[in-house]
Chains A and B, each alone.
Chain A
Amino acid sequence: MNEIARDVLAGRTTRVLRDGTSIGDLIDLDRREVAMRVLSDPEIHRLEMEKIFGRAWIAVTHEAEIPNSGDYVLRNMGEDRVIVTRTPKGEIAVLLNVCSHRGFEVCRADHGNTHSFKCPYHGWAFDTSGNLLGAPLDKEMYGNWDKSQYGLRKARVQVLDGIVYATFDTSSATLEDWLGPAAWYLERSGNCKRVPLGSPTRYHVNANWKTFMDTASGDDYHPVTLHRGVTEMGIFQLPGAPGSKMTLTGMNTVLATNAQGNSTLAFAEGFPIIQNFDVNSEDFLAFKNRVFATVIFPQSVVWGTITKSLPNGMPYSTSTLTRIAPTGPDSFAFSAQVLVDRDAPEEVFEFERQQTALGIILLDDFEANLSQQRAAKGHTSRQQPLRYFARGERLKRTDWPGPGTVYAAPLKDDGQWHFWRRWFQLMTDEPH
């Protein structure tokens, strides 16, 4: 029996698009291919908002961004705008930013501190937990009404390792269900001890959200070419690049994937990506088996840490919370927020404010996203497959201490294929 015959996703009844194509026609589980139409079709986009973003646990912020009672930030969950607040009881609430009366946005600022959100349209006012406080002339308008019925729509909220996740899904699925084995890695990322450096950096990118998340989901084949500029600049020596002593197969990384579509890139002993990095130093050894990036389907990446050091040699670490929100079939909002150890000396915060390498690497990734999107527009191009047939079966590792399906070293497409399998599973799941 070949692999496809045993594939749990094979033979699913799938939604049929208006032109008669089914979702199942767009993904070939045997050949591991996805038609580029999934990047540009508005019908697929609407279905994703329902089937994926309508059910997902979405990372919205770090809890330290709203430390005080009344603090709030405005965020995206899919194409929905939500207010993330700290209530007087110290809890975190995630509220749909839509007035329960006539749909005006009750919060119009990116962040701030308030005791209530008053709708500018008719004046309905809500507290930071989303409860309706009152409305002008309400006795005359509504008589003896039950205000408790008219609060802002509330999302379910869970915090894991400092990151706040929310969902409007009303099933009993918990964040742990959504994360699967990835929770184990997130819990070891140390973000509960960190605080945001500042507001998120935000960009609009004219590309489908999946172009970014696909690359992030363990595509360790692309840096040697797409990010070659980083090596040419002398910032990093990318393994496999001209002049580099390191080979791609010699990279001692592992990729832990899971059925929830999440993946973690971790570095094993000897991870040699940083130029002039002494792999035998105590600093380095302290970082062995350290998580580098955990990708949570469908929209967040917690980039972990590689040791950094101040000009005076003091080592420190940071991470970055990246969040993606689709803003249409062909655009997404990108957000990245650096997280610094709460107890780090002020010099670390000051130094981090001057770091620019991440932005330069992102330029390359966006370039790929933009190019794929331009290509995905064409009638013939939309039928062109994206290919993921480098199978990592031979690289599977059973001696790794963490959970998931674990692969050694790069040179496989399995991380991304797990992303697409999860996409297909959710897109074809009918509600229970």
Chain B
Amino acid sequence: MTTTTLEKPAKTEARVKASDPIYGAILDFLIDEAAMLDDDRHAEWLDCLADDIIYRMPLRNSLYRRDGAGFDERSNHWLDNRQSLAMRVQRTRDVPSAWDRDPAPRIRRMVTNLVVHETDTLGEYAATTYLLLLRHRFEAPGYDMLTAKREDSIRRGSNGALKLARRLVLLDQAALGAVYINVFM
């Protein structure tokens, strides 16, 4: 694994309207992606990723406003490339002794509030979504819950299919309220 570049194409002022076909294509892509993860179709999900995917979920702190939003530049819940994401998929799907995965948890990802902007790279778009992730296990009276804002870079691959090139997951919780360290957001 080499040094990870977090840089992504700069978002431009040009917002892609909901009536634009590319907006619809990106919305379909994100909804399909969530369904693949919810339905344990992780191999298909890996196919949605660009080869140079960078997936980052920084740690967060609760700070005074003057000190910023509290995302830690130096440490992460996840800072993954394609290889390490594939390892997480293996842990999620193929490992008999992954105790948190069997019996299978019921995980539901609600993807909303899609805003798309063009970037300074042709054919690459900046897509912001909100994610509500609910997980239910055993006969628990309630759900484990996580919310986040996701800042994605989505581009057209060589075969015309959309690919996820960058994902930045900005969690709302500082101390995670449930054990979510291997759940794709």
Chain A residues within 8 Å of B, Cβ to Cβ: 108-112, 197-205, 225-229, 232-233, 311, 333, 338, 347, 349-351, 353-354, 356, 359-360, 362-364, 366-367, 370, 374
What residues of chain B lie closer than 8 Å to A227, measured between beta carbons?
A: 97
Given contacts A108-B64, A203-B178, A367-B100, 9 further A-B contacts (CB under 8 A): A110-B61, A201-B77, A202-B59, A204-B177, A229-B98, A229-B99, A233-B90, A233-B95, A360-B181
Query: B77, B90, B97, B182 — which one has the most chain A CB atoms within 10 A of its CB?
Result: B97
In the complex, are the beta carbons of B63 and A356 less than 8 A apart?
no
Tell me if B70 counts as interface (CB < 8 A to partner A): yes
In the complex, are the beta carbons of A356 and B100 less than 8 A apart?
no
Q: B105 → chain A, closest Cβ, in Å?
A: 11
Q: 8 Å CB contacts to A: which residues of B1-45? A: 1-4
In the complex formed, the residue of B with least CB distance to A114 is: B64
In the complex, are the beta carbons of B181 and A363 less than 8 A apart?
yes
Tell me if B67 counts as interface (CB < 8 A to partner A): yes
Tell me if B50 counts as interface (CB < 8 A to partner A): no
A108 to B178 Cα, complex, angstroms: 23
A356 to B176 Cα, complex, angstroms: 17
Chain B residues within 8 Å of A, Cβ to Cβ: 1-4, 59, 61-64, 67, 70, 72-81, 84, 87-88, 90-91, 95-100, 138, 174-179, 181-182
In the complex, are the beta carbons of B87 and A350 less than 8 A apart?
no
A-B contact count (CB 8 A): 115
A203 to B179 Cα, complex, angstroms: 7
In the complex formed, the residue of A with least CB distance to B61 is: A110
In the complex, are the beta carbons of B79 and A202 less than 8 A apart?
no
What residues of chain B lie closer than 8 Å to A197, measured between beta carbons?
A: 74-75
In the complex formed, the residue of B with least CB distance to A364 is: B99
In the complex, are the beta carbons of A311 and B1 less than 8 A apart?
yes
Q: B103 → chain A, closest Cβ, in Å?
A: 12
| Given A112-B67, A229-B95, A363-B179; A198-B59 close (CB under 8 Å) | yes
Picked from A199, A233, A356, A359, the residue with its CB within 8 Å of the CB of B61 is: A199
In the complex, are the beta carbons of B95 and A354 less than 8 A apart?
no
A359 to B180 Cα, complex, angstroms: 10
In the complex, are the beta carbons of B98 and A204 less than 8 A apart?
no
| Given A350-B3, A353-B75, A354-B84; A359-B182 close (CB under 8 Å) | yes
